[in-house]
Amino acid sequence: MKVRTDEFKARSAETTKNPRRQASLKLVYDGLHKGRIAAAEDTDDWEDQRDRARAIKWHTINNLDYYLDLLDKNVRANGGNVYFANDDAEARDYVLGVAKANNVKTVIKSKSMVSEEIGLNEAFEEAGINPVETDLGEYIIQLAKEAPYHLIAPAIHKTREEISDLIQEVAGGPRQEDPQDLTDTARALLRDEFRKAEMGVSGVNFAVAETGSIAIVTNEGNGRMVTSAPRVHVAIVGMEKLIPSMQDLSTMLRVLIRSATGQRISSYVTVVNGPRKAGEEDGPDEFHLVIVNNGRENLLKDAQLREAMLCLRCGACLNACPVYRKAGGHAYGWVYPGPIGAIVTPVMTGKKVGRDLPFASTLCGACKDACPVKIELPTLLLRLRSDLAEGKADPKEKSSPLLERVSIKAWRFGVQSPMRFALAGRLSSLMMAPLSRGGWVRWLPPPLSGWTKSREFPRIAGKPFRARFRKKQR
């Protein structure tokens, strides 16, 4: 999938001026964010569960080699195949190879952000294979030929009228406006695809190493159809989605579902243990698990950024983030929007491509408070900013302008000595005097003009605090 993170400013500015998108983004807060808060308040040991989930994920990520081996061994013992894809091209080629070997014409898909990440639908289409998304939100954005807007609600930005247009285009007949009618029509269209598909492709919410199982959480039941109806099932998983045991799965499901949708449990939790066994009625003849790296090792090898590998992709940090709720999901330019996207996108795709993203945050900390595994999102964003500013991300290019760097150096020089600090304060106060009114400066010249574009700057006091304090003491 093309990475367009360098368009963040332009695309977010567009969204802020679009009243339709702003109305949709309000739903993210009113529905998903408030739902999560209510679910957390309703759970007595919520903080304990978050701590347990965080400990499980840290343990797994710090022992990832061991658990990847264990998962591999157990999936094979269950009769499945495992493929480790180092990048998106390897993952695509493997899945296409399976499809071609089975003479597949139609693929049904349940929601998978990793399949978006590797550009699987485009690869299927180029190979003459028809991919059909079966999650209603994903189906809508597939019809619109767009990327997901949100991790768990991919079409949340679409209005009823827009959805109505898209469904009418494929279904024909009279235009429908009622959400139930639209859902019924989509359901009927998808039912045909379920019947004829030879292959199902699913995502994975958790891959359980000790049993070689995968767990999929849905509210529409499409995940169960995709994994059991076609002859071949391919599951695609980012390597951060491993957990050690079935016991851990119960903890992870509790925190994931409450954080994602505010439900205590989703309508369907499907656990797949490989292909159909002798004597079983349902299930595919073939099962493949594709474990994807695609830049995750960049996170893994950095002791601090590794924390982003704890992510469950629940979307809670997006719902809590004031920047996401104004900028919208497409501004982030890749598959993962919001605070977690601002961290994983630059690191997984190469920091130069995503250099605006770490700055797309107010650092208010709402994302960390919402995160079920307490990822230090603001700290990680600050770390990426620092890497960019210092030129560690790209030695040829420092993100802060020369003037800013010189100013910061001058400031550092000033604050290192009490005498220099006092002198600088007095000089600044004198220089600000002609620009201030009532103790506030409404306009500052470049390079400081950015400060006063949307807020006032308090005039630096003529007499420093320490001098006033000394006088008061006397």
Site residues for ligand SF4 per CB under 6 A: 151, 259, 311-317, 340, 370-373, 375
Q: In this complex, which beta carbon is closest to ligand SF4, that of residue 326 or of residue 352?
A: 326
Q: Which of 299, 322, 334, 329 is nearest to 6 (CA)?
A: 334
Contact between residue 346 and residue 358 where contact means Cβ atoms under 8 Å apart: yes
Contact between residue 313 and residue 260 where contact means Cβ atoms under 8 Å apart: no
Q: In this complex, which beta carbon is closest to ligand SF4, that of residue 107 or of residue 377?
A: 377
Q: In this complex, which beta carbon is closest to ligand SF4, that of residue 372 or of residue 425?
A: 372
CB of 72 vs ligand SF4, minimal distance in Å: 25
State the distance between the two ends of the chain, measured CA to CA, in whole angstroms: 69
CB of 223 vs ligand SF4, minimal distance in Å: 19
Q: In this complex, which beta carbon is closest to ligand SF4, that of residue 50 or of residue 109?
A: 50
Query: Helices 46-62 and 64-77 meet at what angle, rounded to 10?
Result: 90
CB of 311 vs ligand SF4, minimal distance in Å: 3
Identity at 207, one-letter amino acid code: A
Q: In this complex, which beta carbon is closest to ligand SF4, that of residue 55 or of residue 77?
A: 55
CB of 87 vs ligand SF4, minimal distance in Å: 22
Distance CA 374, CA 368 (A): 6
CB of 368 vs ligand SF4, minimal distance in Å: 8
Q: In this complex, which beta carbon is closest to ligand SF4, that of residue 291 or of residue 371?
A: 371
125 CB-contact burial (10 Å; exposed 0-12 / middle 13-18 / buried 19+): exposed
Pairing of β 81-85 and β 286-292: parallel
Q: In this complex, which beta carbon is closest to ligand SF4, that of residue 374 or of residue 398?
A: 374
Q: Which of 417, 414, 422 is nearest to 470 (CA)?
A: 422
Contact between residue 322 and residue 364 where contact means Cβ atoms under 8 Å apart: yes
In the sheet with 440-441, reading across from the earlier edge strand, the strands are 436-437, 440-441, 457-458
383 CB-contact burial (10 Å; exposed 0-12 / middle 13-18 / buried 19+): middle
CB of 370 vs ligand SF4, minimal distance in Å: 6
CB of 153 vs ligand SF4, minimal distance in Å: 13
CB of 433 vs ligand SF4, minimal distance in Å: 47
The tokens for 198 are 């030879």
Q: In this complex, which beta carbon is closest to ligand SF4, that of residue 234 or of residue 311?
A: 311
